[in-house]
Structure formats: structure tokens, C-alpha cells
């Protein structure tokens, strides 16, 4: 199996974040190939389309298609942004790419800038990620010194400047238009779409934004070809993908495996469950995706289509494993708190609704649930979904509604008896 083969290939090599190590393992060969073989921007985009690479930030939008949306022949600056505002509970992969493979990200962005004609770019890294920020900033310095960035890159008629932008603490900035607002020095509140970033993005200019892992996949696609990448995975789900396996497993970690890998294999890589425990539920793509029953998950393969068919989403590949030691109501109450805290406050259904969901979850968990509370949660949820500018609120509703579907008896037990059906009762 092709484990840790593309974006975290060098993770185990000492000083893998340095330019010399990256170059000694084939780094910047994709960029050199583009220039030496006179590959056109259109050919780069065609290769990306062939690869079937889909956005690794969570939405899974085909990257080649997104790149083709950038307008051609416009005057003025076009921008390329990298979303490194990693913060969805369960997601911890971009941090490792930036710590261990910052040049792979940078090379991917330079190639993207070449393909789309972007003149400047920013890597938006969440403010708490000091170590990744320092690694990426040091790598940018090295790349400038080596002539991979700046004016006339490698002597070609192509210039691109790239900078780090540090966030200041707000999950919502991972939403692409909120990120642009933050970059403009404002509160990170999402914009209405349309217009989409390709026509009206940063400073109102044509802009493309991709996730860290997406960009880091680009160099190998250019070197080996889109077909090679596609065949690592399966049709419509090209390549390998990092899965962050966390929660109740013995070896939590980032596992980069081919798309379509059976979930039981991934679970085994992560050390399996703790002794004597059974698999209760899995959140397959970060907390904004619906919870699936353990049995359902054991029949899934890890790709967009299989997880969607099972009723959830692959998201950012953030697999949260939950065993039978814990009460689902407790888990979901904690997840609901996150969305209440992170709602940006712009849309009323989200601002009020996320707090409402948490308060009802909280009273159920604390033994004060009322008979009608399950219906209330479902009702409130249904009045939030689809009524907000961005997807944060839908993401906050998903764990509540999906967990009620799967574990209604735990909710009912809580309400009737004022305590958990399983696991330890919360300390007063």
C-alpha cells in the first residue's frame, strides 16, 4: 500500500522542512519541468483535471475545475490564497504538512500561480500555529533566495510573491470568504456568494483559494502525471488522502493512504480500538459531518463517494473514533459547544440557533432534559439548515440530528433518568 506517499512523503526524514532536503528528494522538479518542457498553463490545468484531485479542505470540489474558473486576460492583480486555518475538531493534517513539508506546499502554490496567472499569494495560517508559521516563513525565505519566488522566477517571464498571513483565533476564517475578510483586516464574517472568489475575491480581485493538502498534492501530479495520481485512488476520487484518525484509538495520527482504502484497514493502522472496547460511532470527516454507526463505518471505504452513500461526508478526512465507553449525549453536547462558540454572529439562525442547540443538549446532559427536548432539537435544527450565508450552522446541526437518529435511546434514557445510559456521569 502507498502509505504517506504524496504530501507527507518526507515526514520521517530529518530536516525535511529544509530546502536542501526537499530538493534532494525531487523537490522543485515539477516547477523546473514546467519551464524546461514549456508546459502551458492550460496543460497544467488539464493535468489537474485528469488527476481527479478534489479539494482537501472539506468541500471536495474538483481542483482542476476550480483553477479553470480564474478569468484570463484581465488587467490587474490576481491572487492565490492558501487556507491553512485548520480548526475543525478532528482535523490536524495541514499542521503536519507545514511542519514537515512546507516547500511542497510552496511549490504547489507557485505552480498554481503559474497556471492561473496569479501575481501574489498569501498563506493564511491560524495564529496558534506558531511552529508551522515559523517553518513556512523560513521556507519562503529559502525559496526566495533560491529564485523560486519573486521577480522572474528561474529566469522565466513569470513572477509571483508569496507571504504568510497569521490569523488571530476564529474557526470561521476557514470559510473561504471569511478568510478573505480577515485578510482585508476585518472581522471574519463570510460573504454572500455569488459573486464567487474567481470573479470577486481578495480586494475584489479574481482569487483562487485552496487547502494546504490540495496544494501539496500538486508537485507530484505534475512530475508523474494526472493519470498516475488518479490511479493511486479510484475513479472520481483520485490520489491519496491524509486521514487524521483521533479519539478512541491506540495510535492516533495522520495516515496518508489511497482513496478507497477500507475503513477497517485505516482503523488498524491507527492501532485499533483500546482493549475490550467496541466501536460505537465514527464521525468520518470532522465534526461538521454526520455521525455514522460503527457497523456502517466498518463497511465503508475512505473516499468521497462511499462516505456520502453512507449518509455523511468525507470532509477533511478527520476521522473521530468513538467507542462504547462514552455517552453520545456528552460527546454531542461538547461538539455543540464548539459551534456556539465559533458562530460569527452574522446570521440570526446560526447566532441564536447554535446557542439554543447547546443549551438544550446541556440540560439533557445535566439531568434536566424535558420530554419534548428531542423533538425540540430536531425542530430547531430543521429551521437552521439552509438558512444561513455559510455552512457553519449546517455543520453544527449535523452532529445533533445524526446522533439522535442513531442513539435516540441514549437521549431518551438521559431525559427519563437524568443520567447517562453508558459511561461515567459528569461530575457535578
State how far the Cα of 176 lies from the Cα of 191, in Å rounded to an integer: 9
Nearer to other proteins, 30 or 398 (CB): 398
Nearer to other proteins, 169 or 195 (CB): 169
Sheet with 79-84: list strands edge to edge.
161-166, 120-125, 79-84, 207-211
117, 70 Cβ separation under 8 angstroms? yes
Nearer to other proteins, 86 or 107 (CB): 86
| Shortest distance, position 420 Cβ to other proteins, whole Å | 14
| Shortest distance, position 151 Cβ to other proteins, whole Å | 15
| Shortest distance, position 8 Cβ to other proteins, whole Å | 12
> What sign for the dihedral angle of Cα 414, 246, 355, 381?
negative
Nearer to other proteins, 195 or 345 (CB): 345
State how far the Cα of 273 lies from the Cα of 264, in Å rounded to an integer: 11
Residue 153: all three cell numbers together:
522566477
Q: How many residues does the chain have?
A: 428
Q: CB count, 10 Å around CB of 408?
A: 12
| Shortest distance, position 20 Cβ to other proteins, whole Å | 25
| Shortest distance, position 261 Cβ to other proteins, whole Å | 18
State how far the Cα of 423 lies from the Cα of 326, in Å rounded to an integer: 5
| Shortest distance, position 246 Cβ to other proteins, whole Å | 4
CA separation (Å) from 61 to 56, 89, 102, 318, 332? 8, 21, 23, 17, 28
156, 144 Cβ separation under 8 angstroms? no
Residue 51: all three cell numbers together:
488527476
Burial category of 75 from C-beta neighbours within 10 Å (exposed 0-12, middle 13-18, buried 19 and up): exposed
CA separation (Å) from 302 to 54, 131, 189, 361? 14, 30, 32, 30
Nearer to other proteins, 116 or 183 (CB): 183
Residue 392: all three cell numbers together:
457553519
| Shortest distance, position 373 Cβ to other proteins, whole Å | 21
Nearer to other proteins, 166 or 224 (CB): 166
Residue 423: all three cell numbers together:
459511561
Q: Kindly list the residues in this chain that would bind other proteins in the complex (CB under 8 A).
A: 77, 86-92, 94-95, 122, 126-131, 163, 165-171, 182-188, 203, 244-248, 252-254, 283, 287, 318, 320, 322, 326, 331, 334-335, 337-338, 341-342, 344, 427
For cell 520521517, the residue is 12
Nearer to other proteins, 187 or 383 (CB): 187
| Shortest distance, position 254 Cβ to other proteins, whole Å | 6
Nearer to other proteins, 184 or 375 (CB): 184
Amino acid at each position: 500500500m502507498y502509505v504517506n506517499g504524496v504530501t507527507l512523503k518526507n515526514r520521517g526524514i530529518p530536516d525535511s522542512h529544509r530546502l536542501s532536503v526537499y530538493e534532494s528528494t525531487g523537490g522543485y522538479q515539477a516547477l523546473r519541468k514546467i519551464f524546461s518542457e514549456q508546459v502551458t498553463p492550460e496543460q497544467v490545468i488539464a493535468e489537474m483535471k485528469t488527476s481527479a484531485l478534489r479539494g482537501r479542505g472539506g468541500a471536495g470540489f474538483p481542483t482542476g475545475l476550480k483553477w479553470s474558473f480564474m478569468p484570463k486576460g484581465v488587467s490587474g492583480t490576481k491572487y492565490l490564497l492558501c487556507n491553512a486555518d485548520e480548526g475543525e475538531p478532528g482535523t490536524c493534517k495541514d499542521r503536519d504538512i507545514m511542519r514537515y513539508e512546507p516547500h511542497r506546499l510552496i511549490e504547489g502554490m507557485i505552480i498554481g500561480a503559474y497556471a492561473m496567472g496569479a501575481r501574489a499569494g498569501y498563506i493564511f495560517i491560524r495564529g496558534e500555529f506558531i511552529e508551522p508559521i515559523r517553518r513556512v516563513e523560513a521556507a519562503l525565505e529559502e525559496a526566495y533566495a533560491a529564485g523560486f519566488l519573486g521577480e522572474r522566477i528561474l529566469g522565466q517571464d513569470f513572477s509571483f510573491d508569496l507571504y504568510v498571513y497569521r490569523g488571530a483565533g476564529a474557526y470561521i476564517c476557514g470559510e473561504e470568504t471569511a478568510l478573505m475578510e480577515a485578510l482585508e483586516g476585518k472581522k471574519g464574517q463570510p460573504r454572500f456568494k455569488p459573486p464567487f472568489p474567481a470573479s470577486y475575491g481578495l480586494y475584489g480581485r479574481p482569487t483562487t483559494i485552496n487547502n494546504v493538502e490540495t496544494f501539496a498534492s500538486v508537485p507530484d501530479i505534475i512530475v508523474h502525471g494526472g493519470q498516475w495520481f488518479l490511479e493511486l485512488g479510484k475513479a472520481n476520487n483520485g490520489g491519496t488522502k491524509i486521514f487524521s484518525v483521533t479519539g478512541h484509538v491506540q495510535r492516533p495520527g495522520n495516515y496518508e493512504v489511497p482513496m478507497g482504502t477500507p475503513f477497517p484497514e485505516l482503523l488498524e493502522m491507527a492501532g485499533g480500538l483500546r482493549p475490550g472496547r467496541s466501536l460505537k460511532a465514527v464521525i468520518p470527516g470532522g465534526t461538521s459531518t454526520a455521525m455514522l454507526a460503527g457497523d456502517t463505518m466498518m463497511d465503508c471505504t475512505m473516499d468521497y463517494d462511499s462516505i456520502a452513500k453512507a449518509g455523511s461526508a468525507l470532509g477533511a478526512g478527520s476521522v473521530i473514533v468513538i467507542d462504547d465507553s462514552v455517552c453520545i449525549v456528552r460527546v454531542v453536547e461538547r461538539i455543540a459547544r464548539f459551534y456556539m462558540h465559533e458562530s460569527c454572529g452574522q446570521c440570526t439562525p446560526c447566532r441564536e440557533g447554535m446557542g439554543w442547540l447547546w443549551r438544550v443538549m446541556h440540560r439533557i446532559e445535566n439531568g434536566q432534559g424535558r420530554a419534548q427536548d428531542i423533538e425540540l432539537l430536531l425542530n430547531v435544527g430543521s429551521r437552521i439548515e439552509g438558512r444561513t450565508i455559510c455552512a457553519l450552522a449546517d455543520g453544527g446541526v449535523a452532529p445533533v440530528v445524526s446522533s439522535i437518529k442513531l442513539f435516540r435511546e441514549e437521549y431518551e434514557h438521559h431525559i427519563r433518568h437524568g443520567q447517562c445510559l453508558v459511561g461515567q456521569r459528569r461530575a457535578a
